[in-house]
Amino acid sequence: MCGIVGYVGSKDAYPILLGGLSVLEYRGYDSAGIALVNGKGLEIHKDKGKVDHLRSITHDVAGRGCTTGIAHTRWATHGAPSKHNAHPHTDQHDRIALVHNGIIENYSLLKEKMLKEGIKFRSETDTEVLAQLIGKYYEKDLAAAVRRALLEVDGTFGIAVIAHDRPGVLIGARRGSPLVVGVAEGELFLASDASAVVAHTKDVIYLKDNNLIELTPEGFDTTTLDNKKISPEIHTIEWSVDALAKGGFDHFMLKEIFEQPETIYNAMRGRLLVSEGVARLDGLNLVLPELRGIRRLVLVACGTSWHAALVGEYMIEEIAGIPVEVEYASEFRYRNPIIEPDTLIFVISQSGETADTLAALREASYKGATVLGICNVVGSSIARETHGGVYLHAGPEIGVASTKAFTSQLTVLALLTLLLGRMRRISNSDGIAVAKALEAIPKQVRKILRQNDTIREIAKIYAKHNNFLYLGRSYNFPVALEGALKLKEISYVHAEGYPAAEMKHGPIALIDQDMPSVVLAIKDSIYDKVISNIQEVKARGGSVIAVATEGDREIEKHARHVIYIPKIIPMLSPLLSVIPLQLLAYHIAAQRGCEIDQPRNLAKSVTVE
């Protein structure tokens, strides 16, 4: 959600910190700030607005030779976006500065206690409470002060802390909010996301929950919050800094839509054995015996990942014959779910840090369930805390509205379906048919992407409409939900996704010439039913944009506009039918002049409730 960057070394920290913040802008934020140890004390600059604004008010800071500092982009939780609520925050004597991601749940009790002690506060944030608490305990050992303060804190945090009299010392600590340490010769970096450090080093440490790290130019010292020594593992980032560039596209979202032939291929590379009609998922090897005997599967996710899980439910129940339930992580974590011994839990998250999904994982684990993960970020909390799982290998997804991660999740769920189906229900020949269809997907996606200009022209016609209805059935009902979500996220247009047959149980009252309907009319066993639903829309004056199967000319009699996708088996049709909806949402947002990669009020990784 918010972005953290920290640096300690021999170089000028200012350009490194501002460069890191620029990389992290995709996460969503409303204010930005920086703190440096300048030899005389702490120099702090912050304000609401974008990183470019921060750069404009601090341009004279560059070149001063400050070699220790922290920086932050804030997404408001406690207190409105403002200069005084922006990070970094200090204690009342400006001896320490802190940036923080997460929520301090007992901040009001701590604040009330410190107010009685005469400590004065300058913001409405929970973060300042932590800064004041660290300042209260700080003498000469910054790590000891941070450790003591954090032992009094309830909630989640990823923090970076510096002190006015300790140049060359940077403290990081985490519980529930990610932090990564970049390791290089004579310098160390701290960030909430590896993308902020990859331009400087590919060697990183993923800090674990309840760990604290002290960074100096000479090296690092890692302990638990109760001061037990830890030897963390250093990982190597697989992708390059080039993955963080737009590559000639106007927006990261459009670039990532066009990357999907490659990312879908990467999700299945080495895992799909076409000639044998099977899938191999090495990350599940430890639980293969359990996979053979499970009687119930629960998929837990949020947002776009939840839509992928819904498609997975259709796939697994039809092909593998295993009952599947799809749960919102935010609901799963607060009720008392029944988890029987033969139940397997899959949690799905692009970032691997989604707060609700992570809490659901821990609740399921506490109840004794085997929990597996599907995520994109190596070293993330979900990747570490599950019993096994599958990486997407989609590379960094910068656009807040997920696109390539969604299709990669669908690909992994299709591989899981093939694995379970061959174990339990389908024949070798049926498995080969599914595998061949899956192998053909990247080429078919490229074919759809060649219709980008056509979809742009359709978007121009509908960009002024403020309400849309998305309809689909069977495998494509979740795609309708996802298409509506994409339009809402980046164009701020109200859109609803519905099972096509449910449209007449209420939403049909909204249909008129000002409310277009996007209908997924794929050639399958219920195609005729979908045509009937289209006719119901037309009869009430509604315009229809149809996503249909190549060669279907019948649909042109019923829809005002048709976008075609290649023929594909129903199980895999969402991998193709979602592409036109992603492009449609993108081009409508572009026509409306919206900020596509960083839509208002949204953040890439939702690490708070």
For residue 35, the domain's CATH number is 3.60.20.10
d(CA 425, CA 412): 19
The predicted-structure confidence for 122-148, as pLDDT tens digits, reads as follows 999 999 999 999 999 999 899 999 999
On average, the pLDDT of the chain sits at: 91
The reported pLDDT for the residue numbered 534 is 85
Q: Which residue in the block uniquely carries the two structure tokens 């760990």?
A: 211
Tell me the CATH number at 295.
3.40.50.10490
Q: Find, among 134, 133, 135, 179, the residue nearest to 156 by Cα.
A: 179
Boundaries of domain holding 220? 3-242
Q: Find, among 515, 467, 471, the residue nearest to 487 by Cα.
A: 467
- Catalytically active residues are 2, 604
d(CA 428, CA 273): 12
Dihedral of alpha carbons 133, 138, 141, 142, sign: positive
Letter string b/e over residues 14-44, b meaning 16 or more CB atoms within 10 A of that residue's CB: bebbbbbbbbbbbbbbbbbbbbbbbeeebbb
Contact 570, 475 (CB under 8 A): yes
- Are both 221 and 151 inside the same structural domain? yes
How far, rounded to the nearest angstrom, does the alpha carbon of residue 521 sit from its chain's CA centroid?
Answer: 29
d(CA 169, CA 174): 17
Contact 135, 12 (CB under 8 A): no
Segment 150-172 shows an average pLDDT of: 94
Letter string b/e over residues 181-192, b meaning 16 or more CB atoms within 10 A of that residue's CB: bbbeeebbbbbb
d(CA 479, CA 473): 9
Q: In 324-403, which residue ranges form alpha helices assigned H by DSSP?
A: 329-332, 355-366, 381-385
pTM value is 0.79
- Are both 41 and 22 inside the same structural domain? yes
d(CA 248, CA 126): 41
The answer to whether residue 558 scores a pLDDT higher than 80 is yes
- Are both 40 and 187 inside the same structural domain? yes
Burial class (CB in 10 A: 0-12, 13-18, 19+), 336: exposed
How far, rounded to the nearest angstrom, does the alpha carbon of residue 596 sit from its chain's CA centroid?
Answer: 16
d(CA 172, CA 100): 10
Six token digits for residue 574: 């969402």
The answer to whether residue 608 scores a pLDDT higher than 70 is no
The reported pLDDT for the residue numbered 176 is 80
d(CA 520, CA 502): 14
Q: 42 φ, ψ to 5°?
A: -100, 130
d(CA 206, CA 229): 16
Letter string b/e over residues 120-151, b meaning 16 or more CB atoms within 10 A of that residue's CB: ebebebbbbbbbbbbbbbbeeebbbbbbbbbe
- Are both 424 and 456 inside the same structural domain? no
**Strands lying side by side in the sheet with 96-101:** 89-90, 96-101, 157-163, 170-175, 211-216, 219-224, 229-230
Six token digits for residue 474: 């069977």
- Are both 14 and 117 inside the same structural domain? yes
The reported pLDDT for the residue numbered 183 is 95
Q: 178 φ, ψ to 5°?
A: -70, 145
Q: How far apart are the first and last CA of the chain?
A: 11
Segment 272-295 shows an average pLDDT of: 87
d(CA 367, CA 360): 11
- Are both 413 and 470 inside the same structural domain? no
Number of Cβ within 10 Å of residue 72's Cβ equals 32
Domain boundary among 242, 258, 281: 242
- Are both 207 and 59 inside the same structural domain? yes
The predicted-structure confidence for 347-405, as pLDDT tens digits, reads as follows 999 988 888 998 899 989 888 888 999 999 887 888 888 988 999 999 888 888 999 99
Domain boundary among 225, 242, 259: 242
d(CA 421, CA 413): 12
- Are both 231 and 272 inside the same structural domain? no
**Strands lying side by side in the sheet with 324-328:** 324-328, 296-301, 343-349, 370-375, 388-391
The predicted-structure confidence for 470-518, as pLDDT tens digits, reads as follows 999 999 999 999 999 999 999 999 999 998 877 778 877 778 788 899 9
- Are both 119 and 188 inside the same structural domain? yes
Q: Find, among 151, 105, 152, the residue nearest to 127 by Cα.
A: 105
Predicted confidence band of residue 609 (pLDDT cuts 50, 70, 90): low
- Are both 125 and 199 inside the same structural domain? yes
Structural domain count of the chain: 3
User: Which of the listed ranges 55-64, 213-222, 519-528, 596-605 does the model predict with the highest average pLDDT?
Assistant: 213-222
Query: Residue 7 half-sphere exposure, CB side, CA atoms within 13 Å?
Result: 28
Contact 4, 161 (CB under 8 A): no
Six token digits for residue 566: 């290649």
| Helices and strands, counts by H and E, the chain | 19, 27
d(CA 436, CA 429): 11
d(CA 328, CA 348): 11
d(CA 519, CA 506): 17
d(CA 363, CA 335): 10
What DSSP letter does each residue of 219-244 carry, written as one string?
Answer: EEEEEETT--EE-PPPEE--S-GGGG
The more confidently predicted of residues 76 and 90 is 90
d(CA 163, CA 142): 7
- Are both 262 and 123 inside the same structural domain? no
- Are both 162 and 174 inside the same structural domain? yes
Beta bridge partners of 327: 300
Q: Give the CA distances from residue 420 to residues 82, 178, 370, in Å, rounded to whole numbers and listed in that order.
A: 52, 33, 16
Domain boundary among 197, 226, 242: 242
Q: Which residue in the block uniquely carries the two structure tokens 């742009």?
A: 456
The reported pLDDT for the residue numbered 240 is 72
The predicted-structure confidence for 296-332, as pLDDT tens digits, reads as follows 999 999 999 999 999 999 999 999 999 999 999 999 8
d(CA 207, CA 196): 15
Number of Cβ within 10 Å of residue 84's Cβ equals 17
